[in-house]
């Protein structure tokens, strides 16, 4: 474990300043009040490439000799490491090829190409893309730059800890997203070198908890599958070279359900006006799982590369989860004035109608049963319940329509 030394971290910190934006800590009054702690964000989503990955890529390339660079570089990535390698390779004047899963958001693919890298799409998840990248490296004699299972890459990522501790020397907890473990290895190792009292909490998606499972088994373990919207951390197997550092320096692992990431996205947009990708939101969602009070906590926001289609979907899901958008079904007699009556009731309750669906064919007796489905905005759960109660009081027997297309009577 002597290979990750303070001297190398200091060297990397000096080097990465050449390609990184200074990301000062952002104090969160909202999350501090929600959790009873002093919460700060390390906004790596504000880097030029949209994520922290440029740190490890740039430092790694700086350690390569001229022969290794001349061969050309190849890597595999779900998106952020791809952009980091592509950008760093461009600055170094080195050719780069990046293999990305076919499920990678289009924005990440296009951004990687914009830095001059050749992009190859292969496999459904990172691990499959990585296997193919190794194959191409062997066939074409390229120099492989692993996105996480590389000590030089992990050293570059760890420079984040240097910046956090310089700015907030009294930090108690640092929350770090985990995919393969490169970021967490670098941050945890350097943090413990500088101050062993700092607690490092790794955060994984519940559907891709390869590091948690490996720690439980006491050895690097491969998950049979991964299933998460946090594409940047959708890894089946953590890094072999990194595992001993994680065992030594990480104090705990928290896992996060995808539904929590959706809510965290809304919180960040509404309270901090920040776009943070799902993997970066892991440490935001983890704040509510911390059983501590009056501590200084830093959540690393690892990236912000999210395409607008994904954003739109997450916002919609988040509003539904928080009862700020809901659909209710009522049955009306099919006669003039009934729709106006319902609309007036909703207006009095301050329900903002988004969509109406009027179905005359739910029953052969139209005088007894015409269905009206109303999708509307509310201020939250209490307001939604108030609207439903008003409809019930007016004799409409409302049924909430569940998101998956089923509904239950109130």
Task: Give the model confidence (pLDDT) of 287-332 as tens digits.
Answer: 999 999 999 999 999 999 888 888 888 888 889 888 999 999 998 8
| 55-144 fold | Rossmann fold (3.40.50)
Query: Which residue in the list 38, 42, 53, 399 is annotated as catalytic?
Result: 53
Instruction: Give the pLDDT of residue 292.
Output: 97
Query: What confidence tens digit (pLDDT) does each residue in 20-39 have?
Result: 999 999 999 999 999 999 99
Query: What confidence tens digit (pLDDT) does each residue in 46-56 have?
Result: 999 899 999 99
- Sort 278 into a burial class: Cβ within 10 Å, 0-12 / 13-18 / 19+: buried
Instruction: Give the pLDDT of residue 407.
Output: 34
302 catalytic residue (yes or no): yes
What global pTM score does this model have? 0.86
Query: Which residue in the list 302, 329, 384, 399 is annotated as catalytic?
Result: 302
CATH 3.30.70.260, the chain: domain bounds: 323-409
**Most confident by average pLDDT, 122-131, 208-217, 224-233:** 208-217
Query: What confidence tens digit (pLDDT) does each residue in 385-405 have?
Result: 999 999 999 988 899 998 653
Query: What confidence tens digit (pLDDT) does each residue in 261-293 have?
Result: 999 999 999 999 999 999 999 999 999 999 999
Which class in CATH covers the domain with range 323-409?
Answer: alpha beta
Q: Which residues contact 162 (CB under 8 A, 6 or more apart)?
A: 9, 10, 13, 190, 194
What's the mean pLDDT when you consider all of the chain? 91
CATH 3.40.50.1100, the chain: domain bounds: 6-53+151-318, 55-144
Q: Is the pLDDT of residue 105 over 90?
A: no
How many whole angstroms separate alpha carbon 21 and alpha carbon 146? 23
How many whole angstroms separate alpha carbon 121 and alpha carbon 264? 30
Q: Is the pLDDT of residue 219 over 90?
A: yes
Instruction: Give the pLDDT of residue 228.
Output: 94
53 catalytic residue (yes or no): yes
CATH number of 6-53+151-318: 3.40.50.1100
Instruction: Give the pLDDT of residue 391.
Output: 93
């Amino acid at each position: 474990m002597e290979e990750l030394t303070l001297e190398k971290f200091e060297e990397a910190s000096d080097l990465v300043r050449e390609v990184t934006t200074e990301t000062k800590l952002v104090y969160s009054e909202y999350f501090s009040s929600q959790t009873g702690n002093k919460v700060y964000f390390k906004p790596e989503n504000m880097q030029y490439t949209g994520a922290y990955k440029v740190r490890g890529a740039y430092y790694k390339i700086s350690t390569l000799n001229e022969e290794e660079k001349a061969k050309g570089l190849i890597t595999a990535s779900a998106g952020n490491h791809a952009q980091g390698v592509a950008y760093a390779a461009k600055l170094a004047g080195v050719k780069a090829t990046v293999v990305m899963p076919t499920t990678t958001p289009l924005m990440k693919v296009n951004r990687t190409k914009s830095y001059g890298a050749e992009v190859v799409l292969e496999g459904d998840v990172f691990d499959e893309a990585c296997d193919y990248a190794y194959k191409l490296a062997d066939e074409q004699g390229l120099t492989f730059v692993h996105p996480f299972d590389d000590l030089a890459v992990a050293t570059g990522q760890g420079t984040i800890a240097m910046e956090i501790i310089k700015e907030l020397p009294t930090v108690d907890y640092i929350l770090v997203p985990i995919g393969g473990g490169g970021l967490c290895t670098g941050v945890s190792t350097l943090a413990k070198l500088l101050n062993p009292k700092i607690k490092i909490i790794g955060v994984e998606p519940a559907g891709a908890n390869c590091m948690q499972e490996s720690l439980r088994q006491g050895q690097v373990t491969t998950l049979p599958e991964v299933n998460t919207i946090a594409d940047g951390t959708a890894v089946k197997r953590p890094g072999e070279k990194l595992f001993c550092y994680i065992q030594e320096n990480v104090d705990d692992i928290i896992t996060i359900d995808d539904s929590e990431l959706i809510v965290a996205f809304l919180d960040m947009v509404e309270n901090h006006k920040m776009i943070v990708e799902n993997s970066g939101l892991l440490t935001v969602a983890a704040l509510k799982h911390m059983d501590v009070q009056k501590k200084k906590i830093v959540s690393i926001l690892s990236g912000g590369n999210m395409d607008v289609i994904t954003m739109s979907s997450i916002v919609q899901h988040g509003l539904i989860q928080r009862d700020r958008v809901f659909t209710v079904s009522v049955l009306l007699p099919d006669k003039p004035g009934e729709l106006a009556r319902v609309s007036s009731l909703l207006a009095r309750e301050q329900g903002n109608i988004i969509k109406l669906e009027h179905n005359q064919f739910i029953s052969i007796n139209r005088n007894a049963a015409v269905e009206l489905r109303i999708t509307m905005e509310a201020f939250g759960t209490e307001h939604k319940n108030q609207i439903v109660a008003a409809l019930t009081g007016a004799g409409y027997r409302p049924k909430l329509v569940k998101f998956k297309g089923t509904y239950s009577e109130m």
